[in-house]
Amino acid sequence: MLNIVLHEPEMPANTGNIGRTCVATGARLHLIGPLGFKINDKMLKRAGLDYWDKLDVTEYDDYNDFLAKNPGAKVYMATTKAHKTYTEVNYEEDCYIMFGKESAGIPEEILVDNEDTCIRIPMIGDIRSLNLSNSVAIVLYEALRQHDFSHMNCEGHLHRLNWKE
């Protein structure tokens, strides 16, 4: 099972959307505090729709609490400062993919200590970053693709109607 980690997220709507994506993919969500909202925030629930109660979510007081409760975890860190793109790594089935807060990303001191596992999404020009929930979806689905979407429904079904009647 893949793990999505949000380091100090600020916007409840983004976190709600990410929670919904996690439910749809079977990923766990880890929230590292302090959060910029309360977990019962109506914007969070609104963005997550009726999926929030199905979400496997864990909260942590801070980054050190996260490390203490997940010893030895392989953590990839999404940042615009990375040398490698998100497609250049092989995601382990139980790895963690961390994303920083909307206004500042993952703190530089954390990135420096984990430079080998930093990844980036390519962009053109001087664009600062993509929306957090979009970034999570891009990287998460690459990790799932690498595992052949092993536990997911990969085939849809059309309901054929007789349109000539």
Q: Is residue 125 part of a domain?
A: yes
Give dist(CA 6, CA 155) in Å, integer. Answer: 30
| Residue 94 pLDDT exceeds 80 | yes
Tell me the average pLDDT across 3-29: 94
Q: Tell me whether residue 152 is in a domain.
A: no
Range scoring the smallest mean pLDDT among 33-37, 59-63, 159-163: 159-163
Domain that holds residue 134: 3-146
Note whether residue 155 is domain-resident.
no
Does residue 63 lie within any of the structural domains? yes
DSSP element (H, E) containing 98: strand 96-99
- Name which residue leads in pLDDT, 29 or 53: 29
Whether residue 52 is predicted with pLDDT greater than 90 in this model: the reply is: no
Q: Give the mean pLDDT of 97-107.
A: 96
- 122 within a domain of the structure (yes/no): yes
**What residues form the annotated binding site for S-adenosyl-L-methionine?**
100, 121, 129
Question: Which residues are annotated as part of the binding site?
Answer: 100, 121, 129
- Residue 98 and residue 105: Cα distance in Å, rounded? 10
Considering the domain boundaries, does residue 67 fall inside one? yes
For residue 154, tell me if it sits in a domain: no
Chain segment 116-163, per-residue pLDDT in tens: 999 999 999 888 889 999 999 999 999 999 998 888 878 888 877 766
Number of domains in the chain: 1
| List of residues 6+ apart from 68 with CB closer than 8 A | none
In the sheet that holds 84-85, the strands lie side by side as: 57-60, 28-32, 3-7, 96-99, 75-78, 118-120, 84-85
CATH number at residue 132: 3.40.1280.10
Is 127 a domain residue? yes
